[in-house]
Amino acid sequence: MRKTVPLLLLLASGCASGMRSYVETITPDDTKTIGEGIVAFVRSRESPASGAIALEGPANDGLLAPEIQSELEAAGYKVGNGDARHRLRYQVTALDDGLLVRLSLDDGDAARFYQRDFGKLSPSGPFTFREAAE
């Protein structure tokens, strides 16, 4: 699986700008790891002073969306809808030995694989980011 991860990330990041958010089965322990990773990525792209972020998660996500919002707010970001300058969408897909997390931040997109070893989830590398074509 490790050899296919870079190919998966390249393919996954290729068309995320029009994506809809969804989350496949994750555990409550997974939410902390994924939430921290998403917020670290957002911090690498935008400062809290750059404006509010609309977190566009799926309606049925009662685990990850609250964790992401909490982590964003703890990092100094305002999370809102009406006055939001930025839009953050996410997808979490279960794979054989981990999870693939895809993000869409404004018009750029990113992907990262999280490896599951003995039940513990950890990032297998950095987010691969692609700017939107102008």
User: What's the confidence (pLDDT) of residue 5?
Assistant: 46
Query: How is residue 98 written in tokens?
Result: 């981990």
- Global pTM reads 0.80
In a domain, 131, yes or no: no
Higher pLDDT, 22 or 56: 56
Q: Where are the alpha helices (DSSP H) in the chain?
A: 5-12, 28-45, 64-74
In a domain, 28, yes or no: yes
Kindly tell me the sign of the dihedral angle through the C-alpha atoms of 107, 132, 63, 11.
Answer: positive
Question: Which domain covers residue 78, as residue numbers?
Answer: 2-119
In a domain, 133, yes or no: no
Structural domains of the chain, count:
1
Query: How is residue 37 written in tokens?
Result: 């990773």
Does residue 106 have a pLDDT over 60? yes
- Cross-strand partners of 53: 79, 86
pLDDT in tens, 43-91: 999 999 999 999 998 888 888 999 999 999 999 999 987 778 999 999 9
Does residue 12 have a pLDDT over 70? no
What CATH number has the domain bearing residue 80?
3.40.50
Residue 122's SS3 state is: strand
In a domain, 126, yes or no: no
Cα-flanking dihedrals φ and ψ of residue 109, to 5°?
-140, 160
User: What's the confidence (pLDDT) of residue 40?
Assistant: 96
User: What's the confidence (pLDDT) of residue 75?
Assistant: 96
User: What's the confidence (pLDDT) of residue 83?
Assistant: 79
User: What's the confidence (pLDDT) of residue 107?
Assistant: 80
In a domain, 127, yes or no: no
In a domain, 99, yes or no: yes
In a domain, 71, yes or no: yes
Higher pLDDT, 52 or 20: 52
In a domain, 90, yes or no: yes
